[in-house]
Each structure stands twice: as C-alpha cells, then as structure tokens.
Structure 1
C-alpha cells in the first residue's frame, strides 16, 4: 500500500507540473496576442505617418522601399496570427524572435527616413521596455545591445532627414513636434499594453498559486488515504475476532436463554457488519479490489440505492428524498462519489437530526445533488473558506474533513460544490458534476444492449 500511495503522490506531482506549464504557456499566448495587436497599430501608424509627411509637409521619402518593408511586416503579422491561433504554447525564444522582427522593421524604416535625425527613433525604447516585461533577463539584455547597435549604425550610415534646423522655434519646430508626438505615442502604448500584459501575468500568478494550493490539498488527501488504508488493514483482525466472539456468545446457554441479550448481540453483529462494510469501502477507495466491486448501473438507480442504504443505517427522524431525474443515464458505480454524497448527508445529519433532504436533478449534462438541513447553518467565515481542511463548527479535532474531501472529489471529477444558508433556516450544499465523468462509455452501452 505505501508503494501505491507513493506512486499516487508522484502522479499528482506530475499532473500539477503539467498544469503549471499550461498556465505559463497560456500567459505567453496572451502576451504574444498583445504583440500582434501592437504590430497592427504600428502598421496603421506607419501608413499614416508616411502619408502625412509626404503629402502634408512635402518631405521626400523613398516611398517604395518603405512600403516594401511595411508589406513584409504585414505578412509576418498575418503569419503570426495564423500560427498562434492554432498553437497555444509560446516560449521565451518565440517572444524574443517576435520582438527582434519588430526591431529589424523599425531599423529598416528609420534607415530609409533619416536615421537618428528622425524623431521616431525613440520608438526603440518601446521594444526595450516590452522585452523587460515579457522576456527572461538574457533576452532583455540582448535586445538592449541590439537596439544600441542599431542606433549606432543608423548614426553612421543613414542619410539625415531633410528637415529645417529650426529648433529655436520651440514648439513650432517640426522636429520638436515629431518628438512630442513620438513621446505621446510611446507613453499611450506603454500604458495600454503594459497594463494588459501585467494583467495577464497576475492572472497567471493567481492560477499558479491556486495550483500550488490544490497540490498541497491533494498531497494532504494522499496522506489521509495512506493512514485510512493502514487503519483499515489493522482493523480487519480485531473486527474478525469480535465477530467470532459474538457468534460464540449467541450460542452460549447463558445468553441464548435471555431474549434481551440475544437482541443486543444481534444489534452488535449488525453494527459490526457495518464496520466491516466501511473498512471494505476504504480499501476499495484506496484502489484495492476495485475491479471486483465495480458495477454498471443507472444514475437514478445509483441514487435510489444510495439513499435507501444511507437511511437504513442512520437515526434521522425525517428524510425527504426526491429524485427528479427524468432522463436516466447508464453510469459506472463510483465508490468515491457514493462516499462523497454520504459525507454531505452525514454532515447535514449532525447539524439537523430531526430533518434533512436530498434532491437530485439533471440539468442538461450536469448532475445536481442538493442536501439541505434545518440546523444552525454556516457561519459567514465558513462559507468563505468552504472546502478548506479543519474548518468546522463542531469543535472537535479533525473536524471539517468531510467537506474538504467532498470538494476535492468533486474537483477531481470536474465538478464543483457550493454552499449557502437557507432563508427558512439551515444550510444547503449542492454538488454539481458533469455526467461525462461517471457516464458509461458508448462502446460498453452497445455491448450491454
């Protein structure tokens, strides 16, 4: 059994590592989408700038080569959009390459339009800041070195832009106006896109924190499973001994002549059988004898049988059971799901021994199981911490594990658990599960038919 539990822990670790990688890839995909949007803005901005400078200020530019560079940038952006629409995994190297293309395109346009005398040469800062936010440290410093080299090359080899040297005019200077426009453009783009990128990063961090919390909770469940399985093995021998002793007592003359004692022995044997059933259920949930006890059934029969079995062994005064499932569905009997619903009922029974209800409904492809009671309800703080271990109002060591296990089993099956306080008093806990998690595969349905 320790070997099985260790394997389960290793598998859980692998699953969460993959999930963490998926979160990082998702954040990278969103950041790549932001770069693609920014590149479309750059394309539109360059078209407007070239047209304005040529037509509005009568500045002569090599229009054809500049439009060729712009066409290459458009082609690269269309290819990027098609590729990243299909592939969601984006690495640091791919983001680095995308920014290098942007730097190369900007360098080519500046070389054709005045080099460092073009006031839009400061757009390099946009690439540097984006790299600092998006890339690893070595990639960012590489972008810094490349942009400095490009600026040096432009200062050495590019032909100056034919603008009047009228800096003394201040705001009336065409160069100063270009610088102000460049600053406003960079500032606006940085505010918009850095805000979006940081939102993506924060969302990714929140998802990673949630995954770490789940990993810790599932490791806790694995440890509990190990202890429960070990306890079940250890309890097997004393339970068998008690069964033999009770059988001997029943046949002894001293007891057989006393009807009251015989009745009590019979009750003890009944409770002993229940203990053995619980132990068998623990071993089943731990993975032992699963193949022997699994069975095919329907969701209505599964719930009807569960409700009848639970009611037969619990001292509840009034149990209102309503199975509102109209369209039945073949399912595979799941001991974990059975124990989950029983945990909900047991918690409700402890809070409200006089009355509780179980209502089952089907909403499309979702199974909803609602357990209600007439007890004191949940404290506001408990509703906020629903599903956390050891959150309980019962005041005993180990309390709160029932709902903790319910929430984690539901999450493993792709479902959810919600809780609320009823207006008429008491609490209501709803378990929602996708039927696909327990539905019988179509191939097996056809074989059975």
Structure 2
C-alpha cells in the first residue's frame, strides 16, 4: 500500500492543523503572566527595571494579537511558515524580556523551553532544529549579556557564577531532552493514528467488496425473471417468423443477447453470492483465498494441513471474516516479498485451537526488530538493489501492523520468530530457515456452532440499496 492509497498525512500537512486562535490564546496567557511578573517585581520588591522597554516588548505582542484577531477569520489555520514565524517571535520576545530583567539570574529563564517544546510537537524537524538552535544561542549569550536586576538602593541581585553556569547547563539539557522527548512521543502518536486509519480503510475496503458481491448476487437473481421472459418471447417470435427472414434474424439476435446477459449475471452472481451458508468455509479454502493474489509472483506457495495431537481428522469450517482473510493476505505478502523461492503455510487444528504458521526461506526478521514487529514504524528507504530484487514490494512498514491488528480483532494471538540465524552465511534455498509467523485462535472464536440435522441456515438478510 502506498501513502496516497492509505491517505496518510505528512508532517507538513499536520503543521497546518493548528488554528490561529489557539496560538493567540497561548500568547494572551503569556502576556498576562509577563505583566503580572513585572508588576509584582516593581511594586512588591521595588526592583529597578527598564519598564519602558519591558512594556514595549509586551505591547508588541498585544498589538500582534489584536491584528491577528481583527484581520484573520476565527477558523484560520496556520501554515508551516506562519506557525514557525509565530513561535520564533514568541521566543525572541521572551529572550528580550529576560535580557532586560537579569538574564539567567532571572528564575523565569526556564520559560525558554515553552516555544521550543511547542515547535517540537507541531512543526517539522527543520523548523524545530532552527528554533532549538536559536534558543541555545540566545541562552548562551544571556550568560554574559544582560541588564542586571537592581534593588531600590542600587544593589545588584545576582546568583554566584557557578549557579549561573549550572542554570545554563540545565536549560541547554532541558532544551535537548524535552524537545526530543516531545517530538518522539508526537511522532509515535501520529504513526499509530495513521496505522489505525490504514487498518480501518483496509477493513472497510474488504467489507465493501463483500457488500458489493451481495448486491451483484441480488441483481442477478432479480433480473433472471425478465431475461427468461425476453428469451421465451423471442423464441416464439423466431418460430412465428419463418416466412419473414429479416425479422426472424432480429428475433434470433434478441434471444442470443438475452442468453449472453443470463450468462454474465450467472457468473457475477456466483462470484458475489453472500448467502449465510457462504459465510463459512473450510480452513484450507480460506487460506487459499488469502494467498491467491500472491500465487503468480515468482515464489512457490505450499499449503500443508493436518490435525494436531488429539485433533479430529475432519478439516474445520471457519468463519470467512474479512479481518481473517485480509490479515492472512498481508502476512503472506510479507513472506513472499522476502522469500527467496518458497513460502510454506502450515495449518493445524486440535479440539481447542486452530493454528496457521507462515514460513519462508528468506533472511528472516532482523533480530533487533523482532520485539518491535507489529508496531507501526516506517521502514527505511530501499536501495536500488532491493527494488530490483522485490519490484512488487511497495509497503511502508504498516503491513504487519495491519495484519496483527485485524487478526487480533478476531481473537488471534500472533508470534514472530526466525527459524535460524539471519546472519548465517551458508543459507540454501528451498529450506524453512527464514521468518516464522504463527497465528493461533481459540477454536470456539472462529469455528461456528454446527447446525443440527434438518435445521436451515436461516433467512438471508435483505440487501438495502
């Protein structure tokens, strides 16, 4: 599946989600806090501040907010550039106020973390790096360049140099750590959101195909009677127009086209029939249906079945759920993508469980990723050699996540392993030494309760068009 097919949202598109009103509200909160801090410092502690410049910096923020409120509509969403400029302005305005009020001697210097954290959460990596670098440079300059805090008597308030150095180190570390942490968490949340959306789309597509099959079957059934009438009438006309060859030829054409319509609808109805008794099928048939799209990709797919210890010989009938078919299909696709020549699908059943194991003769899963298999991480870009070796592979690292999510919804448990060391040099083809994926269901979850002898399968559900 490609990114366009899944409708995944890029990082640049996400940065356009932020409303201007949200940034305005955050700036009002900052403005109120700045005015409060300056007022308290002056009136309660009699600190001598450059009030003109301080109120000038705050006034610029107020004017910017008022312009944004009256000029732009309430539902405006900021572009990546507009978001970047707003956060950069807030960072510069805050650092200017800190310069006027003691630099790193001011306990509010930790607020420099705010704009950078916002950037790491909503902006692209490039914008975050620029803002983070700017913050580090400004904090470093404020160690030596700032206006001192003075009391009413002219006494300079400052902390010892070693504490200033510690404050600088703490802010720098916090800038790096909080930015990385915030960005990592945000990316994982976005990745999980995209993967879940892709899973829902895949399941909806499979369900839509099933629904379409039911509509086709209903159409074939409903059109059968009028087509039979057309054929009967045209056959009678053929018999009655023996003495008028030009009209008889037209009647024969009508009869032939009616037969053709009947054959087309019969084939469509057979492919799309969705009676209740078609909602379950033998285990091996469901596996074959899942593997069918990958049969002609140059790799041999071998299906093996048999009862496990204590299991009955008869092959179980399981539910033909879209989740099962689509999930198994993704697992088979992954095995075919990375196999060298062969893929084995082993089906096993007992009185309690049903198990499907998919094994290939490829290199296996990278050992450092086995613990992360099933997470919606984006795979690395393929080299030109890998593209030539697996031209059909267009995945984005979401295939296994989708398969795992869909199958777990049916009650399955999945496990991933390697049949041998993936770094082993002497690996021959045609042997089961690659990746192993095992899917195990409790039998009661996917095997329908058998009907009693003489009991019907129930009424078909009406199709709503």
The TM-score normalised by the length of structure 2 is: 0.38
The TM-score normalised by the length of structure 1 is: 0.39
Structure with more relative contact order (C-alpha pairs < 8 Å, separation 6 or more): 2
Q: Which of the two has greater helix per residue?
A: 1
